[in-house]
Amino acid sequence: MFSPEAREIVKDVLDLFAQASDLPIAMYEVGADGKMSEVARSEDSAFPLHCYAIWKLNGGEGRKACNDNMCSRAKAGFGVPTQETMLCHAGLTVSTDPIFVQGKVIAVIVYGAYVVLDESDRAFRLARHEQAMKILKATTKEAAHIKHLLLNETEQGHKAEWDWLHKTLPPIIARLIEKYILHTEREKRIQRLAYHDVQLRLQSALSLAENVSRHIKKETYPNMKRVEEIDYVTGAIEAAGTVMHNSSRGQYLPENYRFSYHTVYSFIKSALMMCRQEAREREIEFDVDLEPESGHFKIQASDLHLQQAFNNLFQNAVKYSYRRPALKPGETVRPYRFISVRGLPHRDQGELGYRISIGNYGVGIEPDELDKIFTEAYQGRLTKAEYRTGSGQGLDLTKRIITKHGGTIIAQSEPRGESVEDGSRPYHTVFTIWLPAKQSAD
Amino acid sequence: MMNVIAWIEDDSDALAPVMDPLIERGFTFKKFRTYQQAIDNITTLRHCDLIILDLILPPGKSADTDDDDYLGIKLLRRLRDEFHVKTPILIFSVVAHANDVLPDAQLTKYDVRAEFKPIRQERLMRTVHELIGLPFEPD
């Protein structure tokens, strides 16, 4: 459960606790082999002289016996979902506190003090001490010295402090571990899925290039076909680049936005080139209608960033489109599948800009998720059954880029049409972006 | 006789170019995009000449599975242990995933081969031909 990095963090937390409280503390977990083992412990300097003296017994066997005993205490505490107080083998009062993460006990912390809980404690404590001295083969002198240390230390504990620790320590450690573990696991998953996405696109580009090469060698492609297929290769490489930027959350895009004038059509054309290959396989066509004609409307944009945003939107439109279904009995024409792209100049609160909508027909977004989908790593519920293999980073980055341009983006999604063969209900989903024609002076 | 390959991969549209040379050599493909689609078509899988399997698979609409990204592993185990499917299986996945979740010992136990993306077509074709028991001549 705990990686080496997590163990370092836990140790730092335990050291902090030990420094502040003067109480030795350790954390234990049940490993994959079912055995209790130590995750981390505070530095030895937190342990009292009584413990040091026991450790020295029998050529250091005392320390081994001590560690084994702590594991047993942890194991006893692991099976009980509440705090337990007990004595260690040599008479130290020990508390075992389970650490819950998402409702499950994932570890136990064990910390000790010489607090005397009540008068019957003392006799029991001394009996434990006698037993330990026999097991560890202490000489009479050694046993007397250790008993002196035990009795000396025992007077120093404070019950009120002990009770306060019980209440405050476990929740703090649990919160810290939960945040760390959940954050780490989430990050690992995002990285894994992002890596998968990137490799997938690289594979596509590599294979497209190999196909072109093979057909050119065999002279089975006429010239125009070669040009067309090479365009698919470049598009696939651009798709890989788009996914790479998503996986890094845009960190490797230029930090500064450099604005210059570009036609809206230039971004749309590049995005279309990027996703043509996958659209071809899914038999989806693009229906593009931009005003004024050919979309010559110009906007001030940071081209690398805005292209990333458009690439993401087009890539998603293709990815979440349903494939053209096969012919049904009696049909002679297969139902059309297309992605619609509409654009026209539009004033938003008096400011001139350009509005573009990208609509597709396929996996939808539920009403309560229309804002959430722009959150990092969020994946819509309806995508999970069939389209889980994205990293969930694209729309978050897209929205940040659009916002940085002073623009807006919204999503709409409604069920439309009859069910397709696998029982899923198709949705018409539209992303609408508005971008200002000019950037403000600042 | 036509050789049929079952390809269990949710991104088969984006990856379609990988399989072009096999199609040109007369192989046909039956595609399954989710864990559940594969489970619902065990008989088909049993009668194919080869199964090519990705490790990361979405569950599918009616799947009763945990929230697990590596449903390809679960599917592999069920195919071999529960359904006793003897069709040769080629794991075709991304390197990091294979190393993390499918050590060599499991490859041996389940009698599967593994190739990792991205791959050159000739290597993939050679492996496919070997697993099906066909001679292979490169282009």
The domain that holds B124 is classified in CATH as: 3.40.50.2300
A115-124, A206-215, B102-111: which is most confident: A206-215
The answer to whether residue B139 sits within a structural domain is no
On chain B, the residues whose CB falls within 8 A of the CB of A208 are 17
Q: What is the least distance, in Å, from the CA of A273 to any CA of chain B?
A: 14
| Mean pLDDT computed over A44-48 | 82
A410 with A365: CB under 8 angstroms? no
Residue A199 and residue B94: Cβ atoms within 8 Å?
yes
Residue B23's pLDDT band (cuts 50, 70, 90): very high
On chain B, the residues whose CB falls within 8 A of the CB of A199 are 94-95, 117-118
Give residue A305's pLDDT: 96
* Lowest mean pLDDT segment, chosen from A98-102, A154-158, B3-7, B124-128: A154-158
* Lowest mean pLDDT segment, chosen from A192-196, B6-10, B70-74: A192-196
B128 with B50: CB under 8 angstroms? yes
The answer to whether residue B138 sits within a structural domain is no
On chain A, the residues whose CB falls within 8 A of the CB of B69 are 189, 192-193, 388
Which comes out higher in pLDDT, residue B22 or A332? B22
Q: Residue B11's closest chain A neighbor by CA?
A: A200
Q: How far, in whole angstroms, is CA A261 from its chain's centroid?
A: 37
A53-57, A73-77, A383-387: which is most confident: A53-57
A132-136, A156-160, A178-182: which is most confident: A132-136
| pLDDT at B64 exceeding the cut of 70 | no
Query: Partners of A361 in the beta sheet?
Result: A428
* Full set of structural domains in chain A with CATH: 4-157 (3.30.450), 248-436 (3.30.565.10)
Give residue A363's pLDDT: 87
Give residue B135's pLDDT: 93
Give residue B138's pLDDT: 87
Give residue A117's pLDDT: 63
| Mean pLDDT computed over A28-43 | 83
Residue A435's pLDDT band (cuts 50, 70, 90): very high
Q: How far apart are CA B26 and CA B6, in angstroms?
A: 14
| Two structure tokens written together for A33 | 């082999």
Which comes out higher in pLDDT, residue B99 or A95? A95
Q: How far apart are CA A197 and CA A204, in angstroms?
A: 11
Which of A188, A195, A196, A213 would best serve as a mutation to test chain B binding (most B beta carbons within 10 A)? Answer: A196
Q: How far, in whole angstroms, is CA B111 from its chain's centroid?
A: 13
A387 contact B CB<8A: yes
Residue A418's pLDDT band (cuts 50, 70, 90): low
| Two structure tokens written together for B92 | 């075709």
Which comes out higher in pLDDT, residue A71 or B131? B131
Give residue A419's pLDDT: 59
Give residue A335's pLDDT: 62
Q: What is the pTM of this model?
A: 0.76
| Mean pLDDT computed over A225-250 | 89
Residue B94 and residue A200: Cβ atoms within 8 Å?
yes
Q: What is the least distance, in Å, from the CA of B1 to any CA of chain A?
A: 25
| pLDDT at A156 exceeding the cut of 60 | no
| pLDDT at A422 exceeding the cut of 60 | no
Q: Residue A218's closest chain B neighbor by CA?
A: B139
| Mean pLDDT computed over A198-227 | 89
| pLDDT at A19 exceeding the cut of 90 | no
Q: Which of A192, A200, A323 comes nearest B15 by C-beta? A: A200
Give residue A403's pLDDT: 96
What is the total count of domains within chain B? 1
Q: How far apart are CA A191 and CA A80, in angstroms?
A: 36
Which comes out higher in pLDDT, residue A383 or A302? A302
Give residue A119's pLDDT: 67
Beta strand A104-113 pairing with A427-436 = unpaired
For A299-357, the pLDDT digits (tens) are: 999 999 999 999 999 999 998 888 766 666 777 766 667 899 999 999 999 999 999 99
Give residue A220's pLDDT: 85
CA distance readout (Å), A217 to A227, A230, A234, A344? 15, 14, 19, 45
Residue range(s) defining the domain that contains residue B30 = 4-132
| Mean pLDDT computed over A42-57 | 86
Give residue A157's pLDDT: 59
| pLDDT at A2 exceeding the cut of 80 | no
Beta strand A427-436 pairing with A408-415 = antiparallel
For A168-190, the pLDDT digits (tens) are: 877 787 787 777 777 777 787 78
| Mean pLDDT computed over A235-248 | 90
| Mean pLDDT computed over B81-108 | 81
The DSSP result for A325-383, as a single string, is: PPPPTT-SSPPP-EEEEEEEEEEETTEEEEEEEEEEEES---GGGTTGGGSTT---HHH
